[in-house]
Amino acid sequence: MEDEKEEINENPTTDASDDVDVDEFEDEETSRNLVVPGEILTEDTKNFLPGRGTIFNKDRTKIISLNIGLKQVRRNYINVIPLRGFYTPRPGDKIIALVTDKNPVKYICDINSKDKGILKPKNTVARGKPRRYRGGPPDRHDNNTDKYKIGDILIVKVLSADRLNKPELTTVGKYLGKRRDGLVITIDTPKIPRVIGRAGSMIKMLKNLTKSNIFVTQNGRIWLKGEDIAHERLLIDAIRKIEKEAHTVGLTDRMSIYIENEKKIRGMN
Amino acid sequence: MPLVIKDEYPEKLFRDDGKRLDGREKDELRPIKMEVGVLPNADGSAYLEWGNNKIYAAVYGPREVHPHHLSKPDRGILRVFYRMATFSVFERKRPAPGRREKEISMIISDCLKPVLFLELYPGTAFEIYINVLDADGGTRCACTTVAALALADAGIPMRSLVTAVAVGKIDGELVTDLSGIEDKAGEADLPCAITWFNEELSLLQFDGNTNLEEFSKSLSLAKDAMHKIYEIQLDALKKKYIEIQEEFNGGEKN
């Protein structure tokens, strides 16, 4: 029981530099031009190479887009920042998982991707944890799946993920583990960098103005907990607005004005 | 007394002024309206009104395959479910999928496969559910067009969009975009689809009588029509985002 208490006291926060790369939507090199699948981005194949979300055509005379998104030219690479898409797990991602099933050897978690995540009991207990007293009992959760129940919400880290095998997860680490309170909402995965903003500017603004605790994860799920239900509602509305307007410019300034206005309208202080 | 409606077609498919029965020129398309993102619970969706055709398409995926034995270990699969509503045609359509539904599902799937990267998603399925609410000729072409749009809206990597149109021969004249009555009473019907990344035909079916010269002429007619439909597809896909950009005066940076 004692180790569970420790987890509750750990306040989850988002360390932007740790979790997330730069906000590509607000980047100087990103144009506001929408491109669609099959659109020709350039015919100058001598000076440019296809980057993310782009491909050469068959005879390497053109670079074409694969996604609906925004065109970005970075050095000699042409990228497309997608506006729609799905989550593909990568090792090291911190994500929110929902325990959907368990058997004596593993938990099966929904991680908002094409595969279910696998959480083995040995990955739920820190390795080499000292016994409480000399000759005391070993950790009970090392060898069975009693620690979490079906329906629990966990913050986990992806240990391994590839195209063929199911991703393996762990709950050992900073900020990881079971969440007992707060709300979880899901947004479009490609718009997660926008919710965080450049160097975490958007998320800092949201936290300060709504006095809430937010944990944004790479699989499109956001854990949040505010002072009261009114602040949580305002925060959810704000996140939905960011999701909808992710491809516009000057979003951070507009969002702070929006939240201040909404606070006055809703009579919050 | 039961209402008996005989299956009769008009003798002439052209009016006296040289136009078709619905007032179109020979190479004129029916009015087309497209919209994306209409179904909130689907990963991607699109709606199409093409003349009297009204079609919804919803895309889900990549996701696990059920039944599991259909999954392929080296590539993903594309499953298309083409269904017609019972009220979509004049006489009640029985809801069970028949030979025709299975055939059209298969040809739409085969026609969209070249633009997808199925080999990147082994053991999974992309599923497209197409529902025809109102049918008036050329639904297989309309369904291919709207399915490609829904795939693009879902954010699935694609080489390009796919566009389809039917051309045919009525009363000895080549015409574009056959309506229901022209399809049944006409002489020939040629549905075809194009993949824009290599401008190759992805679907080519033929029904009726014609000669080789007319065949190549009708293909060039089809290509002109496809270019027009492609423009509407692009507009529909971009409109959803451009509207929001314009609202906040963010159309151009700096």
For A71-112, what is each residue's pLDDT tens digit? 988 888 999 999 999 999 999 999 999 999 999 999 999 999
Q: What is the CATH number of the domain that holds B107?
A: 3.30.230.70
* Average pLDDT of every residue of chain A: 84
How far is residue B103's CA from residue B251's CA, in Å, rounded to a whole number? 44
- CA–CA min distance A33, chain B (Å): 8
Asked whether residue B21 is assigned to any structural domain, the reply reads no
- CA–CA min distance A35, chain B (Å): 8
Confidence of residue A144 (pLDDT cuts 50, 70, 90): confident
Q: Which residues neighbour B192 within 8 Å (Cβ) at sequence distance 6 or greater?
A: B164, B165, B166, B167, B201, B203, B204, B205, B219, B222
Counted residue by residue, chain A has a size of: 269
Q: Which of A114, A163, A248 is nearest residue B250 as measured by Cβ atoms?
A: A248
Contact of B234 with chain A, judged by CB distance below 8 Å, is answered with yes
- Contact at CB, A36 and B234, closer than 8 angstroms: yes
- CA–CA min distance A133, chain B (Å): 47
- CA–CA min distance A250, chain B (Å): 8
Contact of B196 with chain A, judged by CB distance below 8 Å, is answered with yes
Q: Which residues from A are below 8 Å from B64, CB to CB?
A: 114-115
**Residue written as token pair 């896909």:** B237
Asked whether residue B71 is assigned to any structural domain, the reply reads yes
Contact A51, A77 (CB under 8 A): yes
Contact of A245 with chain B, judged by CB distance below 8 Å, is answered with yes
Asked whether residue B122 is assigned to any structural domain, the reply reads yes
pTM: 0.88
What CATH number was assigned to the domain covering residues A183-266? 3.30.1370.10
**Closest to A150 measured CA to CA, from A101, A96, A117, A104:** A101
The pLDDT value recorded for residue A3 is 40
Which CATH topology does A2-15+88-179 take?
A: OB fold (Dihydrolipoamide Acetyltransferase, E2P) (2.40.50)
Asked whether residue B15 is assigned to any structural domain, the reply reads no
Same CATH topology for A30-82 and A183-266: the answer is no
Domain A30-82 CATH assignment equals 1.20.1260.10: no
Contact of A64 with chain B, judged by CB distance below 8 Å, is answered with yes
Confidence of residue A128 (pLDDT cuts 50, 70, 90): low
Q: Which residues neighbour A41 within 8 Å (Cβ) at sequence distance 6 or greater?
A: A35, A54, A62, A63, A64, A65, A71, A78, A80
- Contact at CB, A66 and B159, closer than 8 angstroms: yes
Q: In this structure, what are the phi and psi dihedrals at residue A178, rounded to the nearest 5 degrees?
A: -80, 145
In this predicted model, which residue has the larger pLDDT, A151 or A3? A151
List the structure tokens of B110: 């085969």
Q: In chain A, where are the structural domains located?
A: 2-15+88-179, 30-82, 183-266
Q: Which of B43, B121, B158 is nearest residue A66 as measured by Cβ atoms?
A: B158
Asked whether residue B25 is assigned to any structural domain, the reply reads no
Nearest CA in chain A to B156: A85
Asked whether residue B213 is assigned to any structural domain, the reply reads yes
pLDDT tens, A5-24? 333 334 444 443 344 455 66
List the structure tokens of A121: 């009991």
| Residue range(s) defining the domain that contains residue B193 | 32-247
The pLDDT value recorded for residue A19 is 45
Contact A220, A187 (CB under 8 A): yes
DSSP calls for B175-236: EES--HHHHHHSSEEEEEEEETTTTEEEEE--EE---HHHHHHHHHHHHHHHHHHHHHHHHH
pLDDT tens, A152-202? 999 999 999 988 889 999 999 888 999 999 999 999 999 999 999 888 889
ipTM above 0.90, yes or no: no
Contact of A185 with chain B, judged by CB distance below 8 Å, is answered with no
List the structure tokens of B135: 């049918």
- Contact at CB, B250 and A250, closer than 8 angstroms: yes
Mean pLDDT, rounded, for A22-29:
64
Q: How many domains does chain B have?
A: 1
Low-confidence ranges of chain B (pLDDT < 70): 1-7, 249-254
Q: Which of B155, B196, B253 is nearest residue A86 as measured by Cβ atoms?
A: B155
Contact of B238 with chain A, judged by CB distance below 8 Å, is answered with yes
**Residue written as token pair 């609410």:** B133
Confidence of residue A127 (pLDDT cuts 50, 70, 90): confident
Asked whether residue B193 is assigned to any structural domain, the reply reads yes
- Contact at CB, A247 and B64, closer than 8 angstroms: no
- Contact at CB, B155 and A68, closer than 8 angstroms: yes
